[in-house]
Amino acid sequence: MDPITTDRLILRPFREGDAPDLLAYLRHPRASCFLSLKLDDLDAAAAEVETRSRSDEHIAVCLRSTGRVIGDVFQVPEPPDTHTVGWNFNADFAGAGYAAEAARALFDHLFTVKQARRLYAYVEDTNVASQRLCERLGMRKEGLFVEFISFETDGDGHPIFENTMQYAILRKEWRA
């Protein structure tokens, strides 16, 4: 993937040297859906960066001013023309509009370059910030999956199921 530049950000493939910044937000993932990506140390982060660097699914989001990775956006194609999308950002950079700026750039890229017809995202019903972002991006809530998935277990090892919302947007809606 060629880098995508916005006013304040650069979206680019992960590369060597990104491990400390990736570890900064995956040491303690904020959303439960990212618990499986939890990293314990710099070696684990370096291995994850190496894995991500070989794929266009996870895209590093960097500040133009410093080059620092502050989060990532992701897209997983579902042929022929649908992509699931999402984002994960360092909490130290929350509230500045970076996630919205990066997601808009990703959506525009997927709709114009990749010719996606439809994008969708899953969001836990407790993740209000991501729900608001989906709505700011023009996505519509398509449904609520009750006790859809489990990322954690209780003290007895039983799964804790979460309610998950699905948001989506079509290319024709994005253009409008």
Residue pLDDT, tens place only, 29-55: 887 777 678 899 999 999 999 999 999
Of 95, 94, 88, 85, nearest to 138 (Cα)? Answer: 85
Angstrom distance (rounded) from CA 2 to CA 56: 10
Given the structure tokens 């904020």, which residue do they identify?
30
Of 84, 64, 63, 89, nearest to 74 (Cα)? Answer: 84
What domains, with CATH codes, occur in the chain?
4-175 (3.40.630.30)
pLDDT given at position 100: 98
Give CB contacts under 8 A, 24+ apart, made by 72-75.
72/14, 72/22, 73/11, 73/102, 73/103, 73/106, 75/106, 75/110, 75/119
Mean pLDDT of the chain: 94
Angstrom distance (rounded) from CA 128 to CA 131: 5
Is residue 159 scored above 90 in pLDDT?
Answer: no
Exposure string of 52-70, with b = 16+ CB inside 10 Å and e = fewer, is beeeebbbbbbeeeeebbb
Given the structure tokens 């370096």, which residue do they identify?
46
pTM: 0.93
**104: enclosing H helix or E strand:** helix 98-112
Chain segment 125-153, per-residue pLDDT in tens = 989 999 999 999 999 999 998 988 777 77
